[in-house]
Amino acid sequence: MTFRATVLSLFPEMFPGPLGHSLAGRALVEGIWSLEARDIRAAATDRHRSVDDTPAGGGPGMVLRADILAAAVDAASPEDDGRPRLLMSARGEPLTQSLVAEFAAGPGVLIVAGRFEGVDQRVIEARSLREISVGDYVLSGGEIAAMALLDAVVRILPGVMGNALSGAFESFADGLLEYPHYTRPQVWEGRAIPEVLTSGDHGRVDAWRRAESERLTRERRPDLWARRSK
């Protein structure tokens, strides 16, 4: 079954962008997944193709109108569409590897890439848009965030990665950060590959990698380490 992704954006020409290259691009060509970028302005009803208005109660910026965005969502995702409807939003729930796996196990996603100050809350509620954040920072729009989400999802779809085990031994796969990697030359600028990795003892290698993952997680992501320790 092909994983179907639809992105609603004011700048659909930004897609596929990076998603048209490397693993995601090859998978797109091979039909493992499909991508449709639709212009929200196609749902506008006036000759100026207006999609936004000033925020109720005053304040800076503009807000995407509920009626226009709802029409765009309905046109792209009818009631019998089983795909989750996502809204890339700085206030959304964090995008995690477990959430990525959840999306990858489904038929696809519909993603709203917002712009301006935000989206009318009524359409978020009425169309069950699940707000997703890619980090504690604010982007100019949701397009780059949507690309990040799709790249994370597509790479773990069956048949995309050459080695299916690649996704099992990387950061967040088991709640830990990934261990360090090394390759030839054996010594570079006076720095040698750790002896354990060239020992041929797979048990020692596994133990070293586990210890390094735990050390890095404790040092760099105490929040992840705290969750594992509960």
Q: Considering Cα of 136, then 137, then 142, then 143, what sign does the dihedral take?
A: negative
List, in order, residues 6 or more apart from 87 with CB less than 8 Å away: 111, 112, 114, 119, 124, 129, 130, 131, 132, 142
Number of helical H runs and strand E runs in the chain:
7, 10
Give the separation between CA 19 and CA 147, rounded to whole angstroms: 7
Count the Cβ atoms, other than its own, within 10 Å of residue 18.
15
167 has a pLDDT exceeding 60: no
Residues 70, 124: Cα–Cα separation, whole Å: 9
**Rounded Cα distance, 135 and 122, in Å:** 24
| Dist. CA 230–CA 213, nearest whole Å | 18
Q: For 32, phi and psi rounded to 5 degrees?
A: -70, -30
Three-class DSSP category at 189: coil
pTM of the model: 0.92
pLDDT at 109 exceeding the cut of 70: yes
- The 10s digit of each residue's pLDDT in 37-53 is 999 999 999 999 999 99
Q: Where are the domains positioned within the chain?
A: 3-154, 169-229
Query: Same topology for domains 3-154 and 169-229, yes or no?
Result: no
Span 111-143, pLDDT tens digits: 999 998 899 999 999 999 999 999 999 999 999
Q: Quick one: 169-229 is in which CATH superfamily?
A: tRNA(m1g37)methyltransferase, domain 2 (1.10.1270.20)
CATH of the domain spanning 3-154, picked from 3.30.70.150, 3.40.1280.10, 3.40.50.720, 3.30.565.10? 3.40.1280.10
Q: What is the model's pLDDT at position 164?
A: 59
> Contact 74/38 with Cβ under 8 angstroms?
no
**pLDDT value at 23 more than 90:** yes
